[in-house]
């Protein structure tokens, strides 16, 4: 018998109240059920739905009384989504005969355009490489290269972080990491369990991060040649790995073939002549010196994404940037600042990528809930179909950090169930899940030091290193956080060197060179075990997720698929924590440490502090 005494009137995440669960494809009929207490005396219920993408059109529907369930009245109604795509904000009104009223909502319903999304990305592990800092096959000579760059002779030096004589941080110091260096380590990456290589920008650019593209047609010569890139893709494919490129299409470099602010290129750039074919690509406020730029950074002039010739160059033409590099061997694109690109521009990239390679993937950089993201006053269509296949999952990173800083398992569950409910399943399972990226402090430093220490001087942060006690705590938390990451739906993504114990606060301290020969072997072995766990278990590659515990320092969930169930359990507290599972099943340890005490009602787990463990669940 179902006990309804403590049940709410409505719960959008419970199939007894709403079916189907979460986001729905266009054309779906969504069924709603309200369960008010009989003693409340409600005699009438109405569903009100606001279709945001139809100019906030409102549709009101009566919900019919359909009987009793114990001490609860049941009111039911269905909403036909028809051909609509977008967000629906729905609410309920309950009324009594005496005029009393109760309103519930509004709640979000995401209605998306159904499409086939390649599954390869979300199933396996991704490894993010910042190309200049991974491995160099030789010390390069920068003579003749764009940007007036210079090269550190010592691989282990700090990146340059101080302003130059003009008071600028120009990012012109390079270490010389290259594509041949990556090829040299493909077997190492394969051994980690890597299935996708995600590269930060690799096209010619004057700055070491290469986010100010100078030439989209050319691999940066310090990295190698266009042929080297194709060979790298061939070698990766031969090992069962895919390659994802960083598409920086919102802005170019001030030093570039297109803007040519310093006159390096023989082409007539937009800043040199009003008649330049590239001039319409940019938004000049007062030609040639005043122009729109990304976040006001003069070295990154913003492009005019509505310009037909720019669109043709990036995605619309047969030999466009998007198509040509997929043809050269890439398997997908990660779109830098995707929420600053117009929706139809992103849709054009998606269409071009699929036309060139049917299983090509497009991932967008969005830092918030991608279903509700508003940029430049417009609700974005990122994951509504035909745009981004998945997004960088910064909400998951925030939830993991909050949990392991004492935020409570219940808050993690609430935050992640909101994302699961709001996202189409394909987007939820194709998310790029990271603990750290090139835009965040190193995860080991954050967990070990307990914060970003922005109140300290930049010089202090440049030279900061964890104490032995901080590093031990950071490693314990990183092992547990990484276990959670590898067990969660979406692609577990490791920022180069996190598996080797690299430290560092914000850019550029989070972009130091990989410590070859000085890796933390304990962490490397842990990540290798995580990679094998993810690779070998179907339940972790594509299984559903069900939360078993989420309160205080405890968090546990199961993933199930293909007749297999995996349990992941974490303890963020400073002392051991016990958890009664409440189901009569046997557990086989897979990874991590936890004591299992079999009981008549089901096993009890005792998880050591700051740790996590994974188990194979056997039916009792």
Tell me what pLDDT residue 583 has: 74
Q: How far apart are CA 206 and CA 501, in angstroms?
A: 29
Give 115's Cβ-side CA count (13 Å radius). Answer: 21
- Does position 512 have pLDDT exceeding 90, yes or no? yes
Classify 178 as helix, strand or coil: coil
- Does position 503 have pLDDT exceeding 50, yes or no? yes
CA dihedral 130, 135, 139, 142 (to 10 degrees): -20
Classify 173 as helix, strand or coil: strand
Topology agreement, domain 18-112 and domain 120-250+305-532: no
Spatial neighbors of 288 by CB under 8 A, at least 6 apart, are 270, 271, 272
CA 203 vs. chain centroid, Å, equals 23
Q: How far apart are CA 132 and CA 65, in angstroms?
A: 66
- Does position 444 have pLDDT exceeding 70, yes or no? yes
Q: How far apart are CA 245 and CA 300, in angstroms?
A: 19
**Tens of pLDDT, residues 209-240:** 999 999 999 999 999 999 999 999 999 999 99
Q: Kind of pairing, strands 242-247 and 332-335? A: parallel
- Domain 120-250+305-532 in this protein, CATH class: alpha beta
Taking residues 499-525, report their average pLDDT: 98
Residue 336 designated active-site: yes
Q: What percent of the chain is modeled with pLDDT above 90?
A: 95
Give 324's Cβ-side CA count (13 Å radius). Answer: 16
Spatial neighbors of 156 by CB under 8 A, at least 6 apart, are 513, 515
**Tens of pLDDT, residues 140-172:** 999 999 999 999 999 999 999 999 988 899 999
**583 pairs with which residues across the strands?**
none
**Tens of pLDDT, residues 560-603:** 999 999 999 999 999 999 999 877 788 999 999 899 998 777 88
Phi and psi (nearest 5°) for 51?
A: -90, 100
Q: How far apart are CA 35 and CA 16, in angstroms?
A: 9
For the chain, helix (H) and strand (E) counts, in that order, are 15, 32
**432 pairs with which residues across the strands?**
392, 491
Q: Evaluate whether 85 touches 71 at the Cβ level (below 8 Å).
A: no
**Tens of pLDDT, residues 391-424:** 999 999 999 999 999 999 999 999 999 999 999 9
> Tokens 């990989």 appear where?
514
In a 10 Å sphere around its CB, with 0-12 CB exposed, 13-18 middle and 19+ buried, how is residue 574 labelled?
Answer: exposed
The answer to whether the bond into 288 is cis (omega within 30° of 0) is yes
Q: How far apart are CA 406 and CA 201, in angstroms?
A: 36
Tell me what pLDDT residue 384 has: 98
Among the listed residues 365, 389, 476, 506, the single catalytic one is: 365
Q: Evaluate whether 441 touches 501 at the Cβ level (below 8 Å).
A: no
| Vertex 464 angle, CA 459 and 466, to 5° | 170
Taking residues 242-253, report their average pLDDT: 98
DSSP sequence for 200-233: SP-EEESSTT--SEEEEEEE-TTT--HHHHHHHH
The answer to whether the bond into 106 is cis (omega within 30° of 0) is yes
Among the listed residues 195, 336, 389, 506, the single catalytic one is: 336
Q: Evaluate whether 348 touches 386 at the Cβ level (below 8 Å).
A: no
Phi and psi (nearest 5°) for 38?
A: -60, -35
Compute CA distances 484 → 43, 200, 497, 533, whole Å.
47, 25, 19, 12
Average pLDDT, the chain: 96
| Tokens describing residue 587 | 């557990």
- Does position 112 have pLDDT exceeding 80, yes or no? yes
Tell me what pLDDT residue 620 has: 60
Q: How far apart are CA 337 and CA 61, in angstroms?
A: 40
At the second CATH level, the architecture of 546-618 is: Sandwich (2.60)
DSSP type of residue 81? -
Q: Kind of pairing, strands 42-51 and 86-96? A: antiparallel
Compute CA distances 263 → 1, 255, 267, 298, 477, whole Å.
79, 8, 8, 16, 50
The answer to whether the bond into 20 is cis (omega within 30° of 0) is yes
What does the longest C-alpha to C-alpha distance in the chain come to?
86
Q: Evaluate whether 107 touches 175 at the Cβ level (below 8 Å).
A: no
Give 47's Cβ-side CA count (13 Å radius). Answer: 24
Tell me what pLDDT residue 4 has: 43
Q: Would you list the domain boundaries of the chain? A: 18-112, 120-250+305-532, 251-304, 546-618
| Tokens describing residue 240 | 């069962």
Classify 381 as helix, strand or coil: coil
Q: Evaluate whether 329 touches 232 at the Cβ level (below 8 Å).
A: yes
Measured from the Cβ of residue 268, the count of other Cβ atoms closer than 10 Å reads 15
CATH level 3 topology of 18-112? Immunoglobulin-like (2.60.40)
- Does position 619 have pLDDT exceeding 80, yes or no? no
Compute CA distances 187 → 136, 183, 243, 283, whole Å.
16, 8, 15, 46
- Does position 2 have pLDDT exceeding 60, yes or no? no
| Tokens describing residue 617 | 């669940």
DSSP type of residue 389? S
The answer to whether the bond into 570 is cis (omega within 30° of 0) is no
Measured from the Cβ of residue 449, the count of other Cβ atoms closer than 10 Å reads 22
Buried b (16+ CB within 10 A) or exposed e, 389-425: bbbbbbbbbebbbebbeebbbbebbebbbbbbbbbbb
Q: Kind of pairing, strands 24-25 and 101-112? A: parallel
Q: Evaluate whether 422 touches 564 at the Cβ level (below 8 Å).
A: no
């Amino acid at each position: 018998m179902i006990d309804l005494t403590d049940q709410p009137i409505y719960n959008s995440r419970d199939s007894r109240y709403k079916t189907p669960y979460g986001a729905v494809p266009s054309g779906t009929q969504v069924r709603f059920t309200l369960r008010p207490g009989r003693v409340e005396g409600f005699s009438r219920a109405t569903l009100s739905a606001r279709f945001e993408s139809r100019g906030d059109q409102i549709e009101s529907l009566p919900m019919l009384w359909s009987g009793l369930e114990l001490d609860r009245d049941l009111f039911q109604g269905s909403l036909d989504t028809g051909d609509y795509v977008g967000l629906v904000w729905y609410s309920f009104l309950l009324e009594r005969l005496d005029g009393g009223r109760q309103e519930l909502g509004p709640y979000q319903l995401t209605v998306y355009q159904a499409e086939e999304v390649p599954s390869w990305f979300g199933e396996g592990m991704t490894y993010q490489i910042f190309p200049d800092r991974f491995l160099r096959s030789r010390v390069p000579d920068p003579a003749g290269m764009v940007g007036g760059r210079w090269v550190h002779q010592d691989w282990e030096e700090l990146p340059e972080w101080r302003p130059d004589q003009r008071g600028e941080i120009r990012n012109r110091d390079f270490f010389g990491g290259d594509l041949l260096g990556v090829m040299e380590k493909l077997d190492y990456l394969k051994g980690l369990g890597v299935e996708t290589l995600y590269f930060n920008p690799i096209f010619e650019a004057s700055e070491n991060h290469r986010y100010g593209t100078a030439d989209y047609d050319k691999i940066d010569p310090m990295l190698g040649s266009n042929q080297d890139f194709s060979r790298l893709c061939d070698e990766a494919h031969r090992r069962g790995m895919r390659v994802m490129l960083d598409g920086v299409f919102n802005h170019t470099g001030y030093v570039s073939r297109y803007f040519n602010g310093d006159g390096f290129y023989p082409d007539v750039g937009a800043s040199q002549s009003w008649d330049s074919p590239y001039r319409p690509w940019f938004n000049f406020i007062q030609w040639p010196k005043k122009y729109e730029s990304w976040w006001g950074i003069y070295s990154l002039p913003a492009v005019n994404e509505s310009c037909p010739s720019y669109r043709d160059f990036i995605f619309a033409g047969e030999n466009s940037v998007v198509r040509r590099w997929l043809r050269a061997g890439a398997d997908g694109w990660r779109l830098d600042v995707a929420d600053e690109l117009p929706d139809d521009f992103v849709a054009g990239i998606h269409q071009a990528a699929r036309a060139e390679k049917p299983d090509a993937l497009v991932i967008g950089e969005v830092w918030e809930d991608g279903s509700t993201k508003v940029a430049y006053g417009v609700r974005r269509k990122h994951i509504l179909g035909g745009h981004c296949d998945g997004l960088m999952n910064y909400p998951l990173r925030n939830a993991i950090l909050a949990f392991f800083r004492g935020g409570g398992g219940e808050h993690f569950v609430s935050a992640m169930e909101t994302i699961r409910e709001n996202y189409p399943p394909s987007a939820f399972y194709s998310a790029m899940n990271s603990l750290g990226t090139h835009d965040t402090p190193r995860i080991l430093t954050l967990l070990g030091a307990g914060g970003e220490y922005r109140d300290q001087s930049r010089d202090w942060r440049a030279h900061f290193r964890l104490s032995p006690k901080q590093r031990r705590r950071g490693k314990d938390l990183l092992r547990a956080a990484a276990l959670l990451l590898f067990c969660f739906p979406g692609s577990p993504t490791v920022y180069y060197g996190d598996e080797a114990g690299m430290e560092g606060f914000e850019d550029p301290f989070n972009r130091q060179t990989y410590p070859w020969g000085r890796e933390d072997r304990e962490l490397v072995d842990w990540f290798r075990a995580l990679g094998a766990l993810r690779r070998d278990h179907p339940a972790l590659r594509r299984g559903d997720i069900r939360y078993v515990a989420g309160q205080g320092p405890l968090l546990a969930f199961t993933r199930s698929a293909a007749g297999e169930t995996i349990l992941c359990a974490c303890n963020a507290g400073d002392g051991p924590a016990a958890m009664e599972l409440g189901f009569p099943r046997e557990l086989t340890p897979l990874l991590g440490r936890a004591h299992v005490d079999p009981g008549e009602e089901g096993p009890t787990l005792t998880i050591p502090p700051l740790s996590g463990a994974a188990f194979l669940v056997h039916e009792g």
